[in-house]
Amino acid sequence: MSQKLEGMKVTHWPTLNTVIMVEEAIRENNDSVITVAELKRKLPRQVNHNTLIIILQYLEKSNKIAFGVRGISWIHNENPILRKAISEGYSI
């Protein structure tokens, strides 16, 4: 059974292990920006291009990465002090 994801015909959905593998590769990147080609080279296992795009769309929608013209950047912040300051702060 195939489904559509933003105009793309999806025949294979990524596994949780693959999503975690891609997430860790982006998070542990020393550079601030990484391209899709560089990401593919850094992954420990080969990932289908369409599957990788689905994973990147998911990570972008969950506000963990920013996908721009220059490449991909990890933006998710797990600092509990920052989260508390944001939740208790005033909106201007």
In a domain, 61, yes or no: yes
In a domain, 1, yes or no: no
Segments forming the whole domain that contains residue 22? 14-88
pLDDT value at 7 more than 50: yes
pLDDT value at 34 more than 50: yes
In a domain, 3, yes or no: no
In a domain, 38, yes or no: yes
DSSP conformation letters of 29-75: -SSS-B-HHHHHHHSSS---HHHHHHHHHHHHHTTSEEE-SS-EEE-
Q: What is the pTM of this model?
A: 0.79
In a domain, 39, yes or no: yes
* Whole-number pLDDT of residue 80: 85
